[in-house]
Structure 1
Amino acid sequence: MLPLVIDTINNNPQLRAQIADERDEEALLADEFPNLHLGTINHCMFDAPVAQRGLAPLLGACQPAKCRNSTITRAHAPYWVAEEDDLTARSKEPGLSPPRREAVFTRLTDVQRITRALEEEGRA
């Protein structure tokens, strides 16, 4: 159902959102949803002692490479592969500053750990 909706929106100019550039999009999201966290999809099992977990997941730590409660399923694979592709492309951008390039490669290593595990699981 969702692909049909997305295709309909993408193919109908009256339904498709028009955004000037990525900075405008980020500014709008930051203004409207200050607590919104954009990241690659996973499930948080939120399975920690009450005294340790607080009231919500710790977004900076809610990563499969950092937290045993962050769970990836086969259904998540397309999103992780897409992030890997985006990071690979970004790492090749000539104007990227050295610190940002290093951050991209660090994240790419974490993402590849997930995508490789998903590939191995698919072969089993």
Structure 2
Amino acid sequence: MSDPATDATALPLIGAEAEPCCPPLTERPLTAEEAVRTAAMFKALGDPVRLRLFSLVASHEGGEACVCDISDVGVSQPTVSHHLKKLKDAGLLTSERRGTWVYYRVAPTVVAAMGKMLGQHAV
């Protein structure tokens, strides 16, 4: 069985209209499938380096960041690339190669969808 946090085919997390994979957590209990999808997304963000890289990309001017601009997070370049791949595989980032550099963006609607799922209603 594949690891949902790294199997992109297992993660249709977010649609084009900022719809999360799941309803707000306070709306109803998650189904088993929704829990797997949501856990995979949070598993990818559960590593401090990955969370920092995600934050660096999300907050970068222009909405995208060259790997050369975000690689100073206290780990080696190959490790940065590994973590960025995990975030991309989880559906949280997209990338585009331009010459020798790779530019990353937060996947369209992912931040809005995460917020919608976590904060729709007060507990």
Task: Decide: shared fold, TM above 0.5.
Answer: no
Relative to the length of structure 2, the TM-score reads: 0.32
Q: Which has the higher contact order (CA 8 A, sep 6+)?
A: 2
Higher strand share: 2
